[in-house]
Structure 1
Amino acid sequence: MPLVPFSLPSDDDWLLKIIAIQDRFVLGLYRREMKAISYLGKIEKLLGVPTTTRNWNTIEKVTKILQDSQDAKGF
């Protein structure tokens, strides 16, 4: 497991930053540039597992669904 945080290709000229890894979740940022896509593939090689990305809008929607579900159950 790589130490976090880290940047690819470098800290000075990063296209991808990994800022946290917890269990099976990896939190990072990437610049909206075509070259950044190739670095997403390198993360799979570093971690040794297939990866997928989600944008922040998706994270917010999932959070709302989970919160609404808990509210309906009275938690």
Structure 2
Amino acid sequence: MTVTFPLTGEPLALDLLNTRTAAGDLVADPAGLEGWLAAQAGRLTPVGEVGAAEVAAVRAVREAARPALEAARCGER
């Protein structure tokens, strides 16, 4: 199955937030994260092999960034 990632080409943080959609988490497993990293080619340094630890780390960063980006979007500090 091929996943098309929504809104790639936005600032990287927004591209990452866009991996959690109403349809589900597009980076919920190593294959999904590998696909997203491939879609970001040229914007990120290759990470090598992707496993469960990398998926957990990327998802943690995404969830930590969500409140800050939402506040910025709303014009808040």
Structure number with higher strand proportion: 1
Q: TM-score of the superposition, structure 2-length normalised? A: 0.39
Structure number with higher helix proportion: 2
Q: TM-score of the superposition, structure 1-length normalised? A: 0.39
Greater RCO, CA 8 A, separation 6+: 2
